[in-house]
Chains A and B, each alone.
Chain A
Amino acid sequence: MCGIAGALNVRGMAPLDSTTLRRMLMLLRHRGPEMAGIYADGPVALGHARLSIIDLAGGLQPLANEDETLWVIVNGEVFNYVELGEELGRRGHRFRTGSDSEVILHLYEELGPALLERLNGQYAFALWDARRQRLMLGRDRLGVRPLFYTMAGGSLLFASEIKALLADPRVRRQPALHALDQIFTYWAVLPGRTMFEGIHEVPAGHYLLMDADGAGPALTRYWAHRYPTVEDDGADEDFYAVRLRELLVDAVRLRLRADVPVGAYLSGGLDSSAIAAIIRHYSPNRLQTFSVTFDDKAFDERMFQQRMARHLGTAHHIVECRREDIGEVFPDVIWHTETPVLRTAPAPLFLLSALVRRHGLKVVLTGEGADEFLAGYNIFKEAMVRRFWARELTSRSRPLLLRGLYDWVPDLQGTSQAYLEAFFKQGITETHDPTYSHMLRWRNTARLKRLFSTEVREALGDYDSARELCATLDPDLSSWHPLSQAQYLETRTFLEPYLLSSQGDRVAMAHSVEGRFPFLDHRVVELAGRIPARMRLRGLDEKHILKRAVRDLLPPDIWQRPKQPYRAPICAAFCGPDAPEYVAALLAPDRVAQAGFFNPVAVSRLLAKCQSSAHVGENDEMALVGVLSTQLWYDAFVKRFDAQTLHERTDVITVEAGVPLVAV
């Protein structure tokens, strides 16, 4: 795993001074705590912070090819490196190390940027082609590993996390109001964006090329999550279930490749249980599993976690998340997410990765991706029910199906059926709109913008994020099955920019833990896309094919459980007598006015409401987290961040050229 940072200068000058690069690597220390390596050559500088997982002794980076015309720094893993290495070896390539990262160099020798199509993994890398004087930034298909870049002082700078870019004082720390508008609509920025003007991310499934003579940066897409326009009607459910099982097992097998022990998260739900069961089934060692529990019963799933741990005979470890724990770690969490968030869900996962680290493990397998690609979320069912209702609007029985979807939302228990229907009936006949499934959610979330300050509202003017959203969507979206449309939207606007980042990579890497995601193996994703929609979500039975594929491995009360979304307390964490002190301080009118994003009176009213109500609604909770996390973000990255006072990393090895590989 690791962190990468570097730069390419396009004006014939040195790209980065040594101090800045060492500061960047210090800021990435949590991603690579064991050692750091630097390579510089003319206009390019490459830095790597290492968390060693494969080839513990030999895998120092930056890595070079045989004749040192290519150099690479990699964050992540290429899981099929064994097969690729054998193939490349047969064609005469010579390897310096046993590291999985090295196959990238040798594939590039043969294929150039098309090498990405051969990789099965989760990776973000920078490759320097000295002959062409060209830098390539590559990112994995789904956005598991992060990769940011910006232009400053005639250089393209890149890094695994934004904070490393900010180590260069030439990089401006200017909040992007369009990004804030997007977060307060879609729960996250749109792909490619960040909360900073001028700082971008290489989108999932893309690579970027930049030449030392100034051509670029040019982004190219090499993979897209797609669905067919005409569904395959030839095969039955068993066919897909068997095939899915085979691919999942292979995806897990590849992801167990490590020179260190590998553990698994257990949430208590179907997805992580399936992964843990597959590991147990095919691996001889005692599996270590990790779970987070809540003192608040509404969020806790420990019974199911323990059930699964006993069923598999794992060495099970638990960290309890009390409401005060969330408040305590939340500022650290925002330091890692580098963006405002509308949920506290990353915080318990932050605690969970700390638990893994305390037990000496560096790698865990988890179940992210199944809900998106195998149709697990309630929003998919909601869309299908609304479409069903729209075909017969006078029906009394059709809207009753909505009730069952949200059993876990305490608010909705008290709400009248009439109101539920009135809410879900909004825009119900807009079924031709490819964003139908998400319109209500986005519209409801956008209500949070009533908290914006006058200045922000004026600056935004009539900005409409929908246009930018539509520009990023697949041109064939309208021709896909409605369920596929919904899944695609959830993948592009939620999985990629939020779940894999703020709830995934960032909070795991905060404690130097690498997460691996078998459901995100691109072969699994591609197969899932080919399963006919009616089989993916069979009536209201979500993840139908997945259940068929893995139920023999699981106790029935696990795979038959109704979907319980993973959530964490909000108001309990930030309100009440034990509330952390920073809440009142950051939400006080003077601090709110100084940051300038929100209306100070409105924030005070919101905070008072949250503190005095026995039961706070979900929208108000999102508002509280949204405002608080924005204030924390502003404080950490804009107001108090000072590049000049940053420490430099001292355990840095300078890698020099002039060591060509001798033939063995």
Chain B
Amino acid sequence: MTEDLTTRQTIHDFVVSTFLFDNGDVADDASLLGEGIMDSTGVLELVLFVEETFGIRVADDEILPENFDSIARIAVYVARKGGGLVEAAS
């Protein structure tokens, strides 16, 4: 399944809200560690968000910068894991 813009946007909004407190912006391909958007413990928040929002299970050995260090990479990872936006219960 290819990633779509909604996935990417959702991740982008989460990063800006959670790590920048809606006071700034970040490019989709910016290194979250390198740009100081988050530190090493921030990845836990990302993992939790991804699991809850896209209904996937992140294995311990998948918590790698390759998969999580930018909005674009996260979107690719989510698509690869077959994740889709979990609908809220109505």
Does B44 contact A414, Cβ atoms closer than 8 Å?
yes
Does B33 contact A602, Cβ atoms closer than 8 Å?
no
Nearest to B64 among chain A residues (CB) is: A418
Most chain A C-beta atoms within 10 Å of own C-beta, residue among B22, B37, B39, B65: B39
Does B36 contact A420, Cβ atoms closer than 8 Å?
no
Nearest to B18 among chain A residues (CB) is: A609
Q: Which residues of B contact A443 (CB under 8 A)?
A: 36
The minimal Cβ–Cβ distance linking A604 to chain B, given in whole angstroms, is 8
Does A599 contact B21, Cβ atoms closer than 8 Å?
yes
Q: Which residues of B contact A617 (CB under 8 A)?
A: 39, 41-42, 44-45
Does A422 contact B21, Cβ atoms closer than 8 Å?
no
User: Among residues 9 to 42 in chain B, which have CB atoms less than 8 Å away from a CB atom of chain A?
Assistant: 17-18, 20-24, 33-34, 36-37, 39-42
- Tally of B interface residues using CB under 8 Å: 25
Interface of A is mostly: helix
Measured in the bound complex, the distance between the Cα atoms of B39 and A411 in whole Å is 11
- Tally of A interface residues using CB under 8 Å: 29
Nearest to A600 among chain B residues (CB) is: B23
Measured in the bound complex, the distance between the Cα atoms of B61 and A603 in whole Å is 35
Measured in the bound complex, the distance between the Cα atoms of B63 and A8 in whole Å is 64
Q: Interface readout for B43-62 with A: 1 if CB under 8 Å, 0 if not?
A: 11100000000000000110
Q: Given A416-B64, A419-B63, A450 and B40 touching (CB < 8 A)?
A: no
Q: Which residues of A contact B69 (CB under 8 A)?
A: 422
Does B43 contact A419, Cβ atoms closer than 8 Å?
yes
Most chain B C-beta atoms within 10 Å of own C-beta, residue among A418, A423, A601: A418
Q: Which residues of B contact A409 (CB under 8 A)?
A: 41
Does A415 contact B44, Cβ atoms closer than 8 Å?
yes
Does B36 contact A447, Cβ atoms closer than 8 Å?
yes
Interface of B is mostly: loop
Does B23 contact A426, Cβ atoms closer than 8 Å?
no
The minimal Cβ–Cβ distance linking B60 to chain A, given in whole angstroms, is 6
Q: Which residues of B contact A423 (CB under 8 A)?
A: 33, 39-40
Nearest to A453 among chain B residues (CB) is: B23
Point out the residue from B34, B41, B61, B64 that lies within 8 Å of A411, measured CB to CB. B41
User: Among residues 402 to 422 in chain A, which have CB atoms less than 8 Å away from a CB atom of chain B?
Assistant: 409, 411-412, 414-416, 418-420, 422
Q: Which residues of B contact A618 (CB under 8 A)?
A: 41
Does B63 contact A446, Cβ atoms closer than 8 Å?
no
Point out the residue from A422, A444, A599 that lies within 8 Å of B23, measured CB to CB. A599
User: Among residues 56 to 113 in chain A, which have CB atoms less than 8 Å away from a CB atom of chain B?
Assistant: none
Does A450 contact B34, Cβ atoms closer than 8 Å?
no
Does B33 contact A450, Cβ atoms closer than 8 Å?
no
Does A451 contact B33, Cβ atoms closer than 8 Å?
no
Does B36 contact A602, Cβ atoms closer than 8 Å?
no
Point out the residue from A412, A426, A599 that lies within 8 Å of B41, measured CB to CB. A412
The minimal Cβ–Cβ distance linking B17 to chain A, given in whole angstroms, is 6
Nearest to B68 among chain A residues (CB) is: A419
Does B63 contact A416, Cβ atoms closer than 8 Å?
yes
Q: Which residues of B contact A424 (CB under 8 A)?
A: 40
Q: Which residues of B contact A606 (CB under 8 A)?
A: 21
Most chain A C-beta atoms within 10 Å of own C-beta, residue among B43, B64, B69: B43
Does A415 contact B41, Cβ atoms closer than 8 Å?
yes
The minimal Cβ–Cβ distance linking B82 to chain A, given in whole angstroms, is 22
A132 close to chain B: CB less than 8 A: no
Nearest to B17 among chain A residues (CB) is: A605
Measured in the bound complex, the distance between the Cα atoms of B37 and A450 in whole Å is 9
Does A422 contact B40, Cβ atoms closer than 8 Å?
yes
A-B contact pairs, 14 of them (CB 8 A): A416-B43, A418-B63, A419-B43, A424-B40, A426-B33, A443-B36, A444-B36, A451-B23, A599-B23, A602-B22, A603-B21, A609-B18, A617-B41, A618-B41
Given A422-B40, A599-B21, 4 other A-B contacts at CB below 8 A? A411-B41, A414-B44, A419-B64, A602-B20
